[in-house]
Amino acid sequence: MTLPLDRRRNLQELGLRALVKRRFGAEVADSATPRPLGGGAALVAGTRLAAVFADGPSGLGAAIDLAGRENVEHLYFFSERNDGAVARRAAEFRVPTTVVDPDGDFEDLAPGPVPPAPTMPASLEAAAARFGAAGLDVEWEHGAVTGEWLGLEVARAVLDGDQVVVDVGVGHLDREANRMVYPDGAPDAFLDQAVAAVRERRRPSAPAHPARDLVPERWLRSVLRRRPGLAGLEDLRTGPSPEERGDLTQRSIAAGWGGRSGIVAVVACTVGVDPDAVPQAADARLQAGGWPGFAGPANAPSADSSAADLLIVVPAGDDHPLTRRLAALLRHPAEVVTVPAGWREAAS
């Protein structure tokens, strides 16, 4: 049985208050006041601390924003999804934050190491060339070569042992269905057909459809590859997202880097208002030092990208105050850049 939202929030607040009481004593816990927080519960004890429990996919951005607005000395962030990657992102902000180990007793998690960026194996180059010949943008991230039309994945190739496996389809369900229709595994025969179908549905004037509306941040990045000047850039090269997406409905940033007035900047595209876009963008900046071809900030080795300029690019109207506050709270603040509201038509 699913509990009503207000009942679930009350239980979350009670549990959070019990944790604060165990760690800081009854006086602090009893004096803490609740604060509204979408996707979780929050308590603030004067300026001493804020304790936040998030039950969403992350919630770190909303928690840091709350702590910044309340001007507290320390944030304690609870989530069942907490791990070293969350702690690494939290450490990029000026708000002192303890990311609490979900398996411990109020123990903090140390920031995890920046993951390496592997080089694409030569055995996948033929698949990458085929995707490019079909008119798709070719991307390499998280062990897969993908072919995208306006940021939407239409095909992918991965290594299974020594064998190259190529799948065609938008999302894992579409790929699985195509495997059933074409059990002999010859996706090359219908790749062009799939591309044509996606091109018809993913265009600015197309009727509402998942192929039109999924991963808009990658559509924005695709436009900036062709029209970087919309964001004040001289060029744009793409980079991997900071974490692998479970599916196409999962929100994430679309990352890359480009030149601006002779300075290399890491770029994070996002559409709408996503509190976790800024933590993800900060993580992408850390990882950018390992991206093939990344030049790095001036007078620093390419492996050290932590102080590189960071641009968070959003459509006009999506530059919410929350995004700007979080960008300013980074240890190396980011700049929020807007592109015109009609950006989808810009590359047509």
Confidence band for 186, pLDDT divided at 50, 70 and 90: low
109 within 8 A of 99, measured Cβ to Cβ: yes
pLDDT of residue 37: 87
Residue where the block lists tokens 């927080």: 37
CB atoms within 10 A of CB 196: 12
pLDDT of residue 39: 80
- For 86-90, 184-188, 275-279, which range has the lowest pLDDT when averaged over its residues? 184-188
Distance CA 258, CA 247 (A): 27
The per-residue pLDDT of the chain, averaged, comes to 89
Residue where the block lists tokens 């990344």: 294
Where would I find the beta strands (DSSP E) of 3-74? 33-35, 40-45, 49-54
Confidence check: pLDDT of 96 > 80: yes
CB atoms within 10 A of CB 33: 10
Q: Which residues are 311's β-sheet partners? A: 267, 335
Confidence check: pLDDT of 251 > 60: yes
Distance CA 123, CA 79 (A): 40
What is the pLDDT averaged over residues 107-134? Answer: 93
- For 10-19, 183-192, 266-275, 326-335, which range has the lowest pLDDT when averaged over its residues? 183-192
Domain residue ranges of the chain, discontinuous segments joined by +? 5-99, 122-210, 215-347
What is the pLDDT averaged over residues 231-242? Answer: 94
First to last CA, the chain: 48
228 within 8 A of 234, measured Cβ to Cβ: yes
Distance CA 186, CA 192 (A): 13
Distance CA 142, CA 165 (A): 15
Tell me the per-residue pLDDT of 159-170, one tens digit each, with 9 for 90 and over.
Answer: 988 898 888 888
Long-range pairs of 53-57 with CB within 8 A, sequence gap ≥ 24: 53/12, 53/15, 53/16, 53/78, 53/79, 54/78, 54/79, 54/81, 55/12, 55/79, 55/80, 57/81, 57/250, 57/251, 57/276
Residue where the block lists tokens 């850390």: 286
Amino acid at site 241: S
Q: Say how far residue 236 (Cα) sits from the centre of its chain.
A: 18
Confidence check: pLDDT of 301 > 60: no
C-alpha count within 13 angstroms, C-beta hemisphere, residue 50:
28
What DSSP designation does 123 have?
G
- Orientation of helix 321-329 relative to helix 60-70, angle to 10°: 80
Helix (H) or strand (E) holding 42, with range, is strand 40-45
Give the SS3 label for residue 285.
Answer: helix
What is the pLDDT averaged over residues 225-235? Answer: 96
Question: The whole model's pTM is what?
Answer: 0.91
Confidence check: pLDDT of 187 > 70: no
Confidence check: pLDDT of 273 > 80: yes
Edge-to-edge strands of the sheet including 33-35? 33-35, 40-45, 49-54, 75-79, 97-99
pLDDT of residue 1: 46
Tell me the per-residue pLDDT of 316-340, one tens digit each, with 9 for 90 and over.
Answer: 999 999 999 999 999 999 999 999 9
pLDDT of residue 299: 46
